Amino acid sequence: MSAPTTSRTNVTEREARQVAEAAREQDWRKPSFAKELFLGRFRLDLIHPHPLPDDESVRRGEEFLAKLRAFCETTVDGARIEREARIPDEVVAGLKELGALGMKIDPKYGGLGLTQLYYNKSLALVGSVSPAVGALLSAHQSIGVPQPLKMFGTQEQKDAFLPRCARTDISAFLLTEPDVGSDPARLATTAVPDGEDYVLDGVKLWTTNGVVADLLVVMARVPKSEEHKGGITAFVVEAASEGITVENRNAFMGLRGIENGVTRFHQVRVPAANRIGPEGAGLKIALTTLNTGRLSLPAMCAGSGKWCLKIAREWSAEREQWGKPVALHEAVGSKISFIAATTFALEAVLDLSSQMADEDRNDIRIEAALAKLYGSEMAWKMADELVQIRGGRGYETAESLRARGERAVPAEQMLRDLRINRIFEGSTEIMHLLIAREAVDAHLSVAGDLIDPDKSLSDKAKAGANAGVFYAKWLPKLVAGPGQLPLSYGEFKQGVDLSGHLRYVERTARKLARSTFYAMSRWQGRMETKQGFLGRIVDIGAELFAMSAACVRAELLRSRGEHGREAYQLADAFCRQARIRVEELFDRLWTNTDALDRKVVKGVLGGSYTWLEEGIVDPSGDGPWIADATPGPSARENERRPYGA
């Protein structure tokens, strides 16, 4: 019998939505290519000509990349990290010496001050030799202490903590709890004001870097009172504080060197000076931090694609079947083409999004989310195809291959390591909903009150009038555009013709917007429950964004004399592959099994199909599905292990 789960925080669906909505950035103060795309407006001018870094940023970035490459080649042993499930202390010490902990931190605080572009190139490089090391650096800088302090910290906080993060201290981000994942309204960890301090109590789960961290960003709920606004709030916490216990170092199917654990807080005193931003701003801080922080995952996904392509090329030229290299058999060749074209597109999406983040001229919240979503899904598929190309050798571990005298290619490890990216920092399903919410923001801004059951008739009437004005101007623009003119985007016709793909993107963006409007008209308030439909809408947008980025990158490389002909070929192949996927997704918008699936799910949950489960033995152990997270002192040994301690 499973033990009951205790200390759950119960909230209604509406309350949960209100908390998430309040944490969103409400305003669009800068243009967004992806937002415009979902509205049916193909703003090529926002991404073409491709934005470029300044010469000094390139010089500093390339100089660091050279040092990092040398370090990775001589000091980082990915096989050892996989074997021992630990990143050796000397590797972390070397990273500190290089300044890798402070890649994104301003030089005045001891950091390197690299751009987002070169930070991501660095993560792709180090992640190629050890994804666990890439995760360590990414969690420390993308979502750990440096980024929220950079954006929301006081000058005193920056002076106190950023020099430490740049050179000596590892940081971690603690939001998730045993019974709280993507629904932060149910957050149970509390921070009770007490004089000049807050007292933290609660349990945090999946604390990447938490086992070895020196500094923590902790999200906790401050009770509301006359003196305190309350709400979910962010704090910088010293990991060695009394009352903090790392109760478990978690182990996973991949990323075996990652230092991820369960951390309990019991009566932990945190100075009020360590609060980041005002009370109640914690979720907004977390989500804003993630807007650019999410670009670290597609960086490592793009790096993985490069590695998959290298191995596929070398192996498929060496391995022969039926008198010729397996690459020349169409069944294998199509997989290699997919890997090559998709790697080109992933790097195009990553570099474009990164450079736009550096320039800060555009709002890239949707672009970064699309990059994370698309990168994690496509990298997983590329790794899966590599395993298939390698056959039995793809399924065999690198250690086993080495032991019997063959090249130790960790293809199966790559597949395991990449799998988490579809869950990390927003699962694919959550990313679909997050992006869909942003994509329909313009509609909800003008017509949201029409479908809100709590709004009065006068509010609905006012919303109806506003919506009428908006749609009278917007809908006619979805009928025709440059995508129907044969000579549009002619500058992308350079031997290989990419102009047709951009015309397709323009036409399809309008079709996508029309489909979204029709769905909102049809389902109105029930639109948010149509998660299958919304997911397909977002996936179409992701493909269109990737097609646009691939074409723009190809033209950039051609104009600079850098493999332009080959880049055009890869962009052409990718766009043709993407167009097939887009048409399939459009078909599935209206022809699908969503309604039937809901019936089957109700039957499964209601026990109608338990007979189908007969004839097996369940090897799962006993225990609750969700661990007890009742506040209180820890009864377990502290597994915290700072590097070098």
pLDDT of res. 512: 96
Position 2 scores a pLDDT of: 39
In this predicted structure, the answer to whether residue 450 has a pLDDT above a threshold of 90 is: no
Greater model confidence, 322 or 68: 68
Sign of the CA dihedral with 32 first, then 33, 39, and 45 last: positive
> Which residues neighbour 611 within 8 Å (Cβ) at sequence distance 6 or greater?
none
What pLDDT score does 319 carry? 78
Beta pairing class for 231-238 and 190-194: unpaired
* Average pLDDT for the chain: 92
Share of the chain above pLDDT 70, in %: 95
- Say whether pLDDT at 322 is over 90: no
Q: Find the mean pLDDT for residues 278-297.
A: 88
Mean pLDDT score, 200-223? 97
What pLDDT is recorded for position 8?
Answer: 55
pLDDT grade, residue 318 (50/70/90)?
A: confident
pLDDT at res. 24: 64
User: What pLDDT is stored for residue 523 in this prediction?
Assistant: 85
- Report the 3 state secondary structure along 469-511: HHHHHHHHHHCCCHHHCCCCCHHHEECEECHHHHHHHHHHHHH
**Mean local confidence (pLDDT), 88-113:** 97
Place of tokens 């299958």: 532
SS3 324: strand
- Degrees to nearest 5, angle at CA 276 with 57 and 32: 50
Q: Residue 6's pLDDT is what?
A: 44
- Summarize the confidence of residues 55-76 as an average pLDDT: 97
pLDDT for the residue numbered 43 = 97
Residue with tokens 């996508």: 512
The mean per-residue pLDDT over the stretch 203-208 comes to 96
pTM reported for the whole predicted model: 0.94
* In the predicted structure, residue 229 carries a pLDDT above the cut 90: yes
pLDDT at 552: 98
What pLDDT score does 9 carry? 59
- Asked if residue 4 has pLDDT above 50, the reply is no
Beta strand pairing call for 320-321 and 275-276: unpaired
> What percent of the chain shows pLDDT beyond 90?
79
Active-site positions read 425
Please classify residue 494 by burial: count the beta carbons closer than 10 Å to its beta carbon, then call 0-12 exposed, 13-18 middle and 19+ buried.
middle
State which amino acid sits at residue 476: P
pLDDT in tens, 591-612: 999 999 999 999 999 999 999 9
pLDDT tens sequence across 459-496: 778 878 877 888 888 888 899 999 999 999 999 999 99
Average pLDDT over residues 73-84: 97
Q: Is 12 a residue whose pLDDT tops 70?
A: no
Helices (H), 25-115: 33-38, 55-74, 78-84, 89-98
> Between 103 and 294, where is the model more confident?
103
What's the N-to-C CA distance of the chain in angstroms?
42
442-473: b (≥16 Cβ within 10 Å) or e: bbbebbebbbeeeeeeeeeeebeeebeeeeee
Q: What is the pLDDT of residue 18?
A: 65
Kindly tell me if the per-residue pLDDT of 292 is higher than 90.
no
**Local confidence band at 1 (pLDDT 50, 70, 90 cut-offs):** very low
Over 80: is that where the pLDDT of 535 sits?
A: yes
pLDDT at res. 425:
84
Assess contact for 134 and 141: CB atoms under 8 A. Answer: no
Spatial separation of the C-alpha atoms in residues 479 and 145, rounded to whole Å: 48
538 against 327, higher pLDDT: 538
At 328 the pLDDT is: 78
Pairing state of beta strands 231-238 and 275-276? Answer: antiparallel
Q: What is the pLDDT of residue 23?
A: 60
Give the span between the Cα atoms of 200 and 181, in whole angstroms.
19
Instruction: Identify the pLDDT of residue 10.
Output: 65
